[in-house]
Chain A
Amino acid sequence: MKKNMARRGLDMGVHPYLYIAPALIALTAVVLLPLLYAFYLSLFKTQGLNGTFVGLANYISILKEDYFWESTGRTAYFTIVSVMLEFILGMLVALLLNEKFRWRGIARAMLILPWALPTVVNGVLWSWIFNSSYGSLNGLLSQLGLIDKYINWLGEPGIAMNCVIFADVWKNYAMIALILLAGLQTIPADYYEAAKIDGANAVQRFFGVTLPLMKPSILVCLVLRTMEAFKVFDIVYTMTKGGPANGTQVISYYTYQTTFQYSQFGTGAALSYLVSLFILLMAIVYVRLITGKGNES
């Protein structure tokens, strides 16, 4: 009886909070308080050491700023194109690695390489490959006779962004491929057999069997990558620093610049809130999607 009481005491009431208390305290200290503090900061206009309370004026002036919308647009472009390419490539690779062939084990292991490569190294490596004077891409293309003059890959606003996307895709499709591959392996073979007997060809089998069964993992993959891509900073910092002519200035970089280059802490804090808001919105949309689809099946 006594024991029972004690157990109930353990299971309910105070005890569960003891389990989560350390984590909550830590998260409050390193995330929650800073977030509140950032909101407080975002209500001030800062000039050097002085700040004057301006209410929501920082938010309003940001929303009127061309640079803000331009960089938001660029971030959207980066996000959409890179996630789309990563998904297509990841899916193809996953399908390929699900087939039987001789070096399948090695090929699967190799997929880990780009995934584990630090983002900063990825950026530095590709900026060297894209280097306009000594880069291997220019060297290769001109040796193959495809170009007669070296191209300044990272020097033209239109091209530079796509080069950054290329570098990003080269690393990040691997994660999608790994997840989808694991998903493919869980689909029972008899599903395909049944479809085959029904006379479905490979393409029909893919859209009729594979895709619907994989929907949950595909959606979650896309959520994660979209949100990661929208936060993009490291690779832009190492490859182009937002240039040329702001051609790769994504929103995180813009926020970084406002905060730490111009030391406009108030505006910077307001910007970071807006970025978080975008990401939150995306999260909600996707969570809805997932739960909706989950109910269907």
Chain B
Amino acid sequence: MRRGERKKRIFVNIAAVFLMIYIILPFIWLFISSISPKVELIATPPHWIPENPSFNNYLKLLGLQEASLSTGEIPPFNTAMRNSIVVALSSTGLSVLIGIFAAYAFARLEFRGKNAMLISVIALRMLPEIALVLPLYMIMQKLNMSDSKVFLTLVYMSFVLPFVIWILRSYFESIPVTLEEAALIDGANRWTIIWKIVFPLALPGIITTCIFCLLTCWDEFLFSLIFTTSYNAKTVTVAISEFTTRHMIDYGLMMAGGMLASLPPILFALVLQKYVVNGLTEGSVKE
């Protein structure tokens, strides 16, 4: 028995080491490539550890160092990052604001057509982006809103809002009704109940929802690819994909861009880890 335990512990430790390597190795390579000068990047065999590491790629991307004219224009990465932040924040903010009330109604109130509406909201969540991109494009042209962050913010709601309603509804349902009933009997109105009782109890859920929405918006690619033409609204995911279409492919620069684009969501998710795990289980298991 003891021997079995020991064997198992050794096995678990070895497996854990392998898992960590599997996770971290590509990240390390991402970082190493981003600080390798071009000559070392294309060396055969590869320089696993760069001899002359430099942060020039980062400086170039952040506009702190001039790039040579002939390399072609480096996309204004700061602007793309700013666009991503703005669009993700405003889309999430708007959706959560609107979604809280809808989710509450779905969880607590009775009204006609509730089930049908709820099912349609869930169905909307499943809808592929590709199904919406063309009609939204035509609408965008008619409204003369091409290349604008406002339009991106609004269309991002098409996938953020159903998610908010879905996940918050299950959070609200997990809060015991008795508290609200007691307050109702005491003569409190719905607004007071929502604000004073439900809201504080559902806070962790709301935070989780915000995290998920922000990350989904940050990750979004197709809408931004089609609906933007310039760095007036282009987001960071599109900026990165464009590195590959410019005629001189600078992998170091591309990797540096990848690092910069990954840092905000990764740090965010690491710091708020507890909520992420909560959200994953709540959002997927509770139906």
> Which residues of A are at the interface with B, using a C-beta cutoff of 8 A?
3, 6-7, 10-12, 15-17, 19-20, 22-24, 26-27, 29-31, 33-35, 37-38, 41, 93, 96, 99, 101-104, 106-107, 109-121, 124-129, 131, 133-134, 136, 139-140, 142-143, 170, 175, 178-179, 181-183, 216-217, 220-221, 224, 227, 230-231, 233-234, 237-238, 252, 255-256, 259-260, 265, 268-269, 272-273, 275-276, 279-280, 283, 290
Contact = CB atoms under 8 A, between A and B. Distances in A.
- Which residue among A109, A116, A125 has the maximum number of chain B CB atoms within 10 Å of its CB? A116
Contact of B281 (A125, A217, A276): A217
Given A3-B187, A101-B13, A280-B126, 11 more contacts: A19-B105, A33-B135, A35-B132, A107-B20, A118-B219, A120-B261, A178-B277, A182-B285, A217-B284, A233-B221, A279-B127
A163 to B, nearest CB: 13
Contact of A143 (B45, B155, B161, B162): B45
Interface string B17-50: 0011011101101100100000001111110000
B287 interface: yes
B102 interface: yes
Pick from A31, A112, A125 the residue with the most CB of B within 10 Å. Answer: A31
Given A22-B98, A142-B45, A116 B262 contact: yes
B46 A23 contact: no
25 contacts: A10-B190, A17-B111, A23-B161, A24-B117, A27-B124, A96-B15, A96-B16, A113-B266, A115-B276, A116-B268, A118-B261, A121-B237, A121-B261, A124-B243, A124-B244, A124-B254, A128-B33, A217-B281, A217-B284, A238-B244, A256-B130, A256-B133, A272-B133, A275-B131, A283-B123
Give the top 6 A-B pairs by smallest Cβ distance, nearest first: A23-B102, A19-B105, A139-B46, A34-B135, A16-B111, A116-B269
A184 to B, nearest CB: 11
B248 interface: no
A34 B139 contact: yes
B126 A22 contact: no
Contact of A96 (B12, B105, B236, B262): B12
B196 to A, nearest CB: 16
Nearest to A255: B130
A41 B268 CA distance: 41
A125 B26 contact: yes
Contacts of A265: 134, 138
Given A34-B139, A118-B237, A121-B258, A19 B130 contact: no
B122 to A, nearest CB: 8
B162 A27 contact: yes
B221 to A, nearest CB: 4
Contact of A120 (B130, B131, B132, B240): B240
Query: Which residue of A11, A115, A117, A178 has the most chain B CB atoms within 10 A of its CB atom?
Result: A117
B222 interface: yes
A119 B280 contact: no
Contacts of B114: 16
Interface in B88-118: 98-99, 101-102, 104-106, 109-111, 114, 117
B109 A272 contact: no
B65 interface: no
B132 A12 contact: no
A217 B244 contact: no
Contacts of B110: 11-12, 16
A263 to B, nearest CB: 10
B240 A121 contact: yes
A119 B218 CA distance: 10
Contacts of A22: 98, 101-102
A126 to B, nearest CB: 7
Nearest to A111: B23
Contacts of A31: 124, 127, 132, 158, 162
B109 A134 contact: no
A102 B13 contact: yes
B68 to A, nearest CB: 22
A12 B139 CA distance: 36
B87 to A, nearest CB: 14
B90 to A, nearest CB: 13
A115 B262 CA distance: 11
A248 to B, nearest CB: 15
Contact of A113 (B27, B102, B285, B287): B27
B111 A220 contact: no
Nearest to B219: A118
Contacts of A101: 9, 12-13, 16
Nearest to B255: A128
Contacts of B230: none
B83 to A, nearest CB: 14
B102 A116 contact: no
Interface in B231-266: 236-237, 240-241, 243-244, 251, 254-255, 258, 261-262, 265-266
B262 A117 contact: yes
B266 A116 contact: yes
A20 B115 CA distance: 13
B215 interface: yes
Contacts of A115: 269, 276
A217 B12 CA distance: 24
B142 to A, nearest CB: 10
A99 B111 CA distance: 47
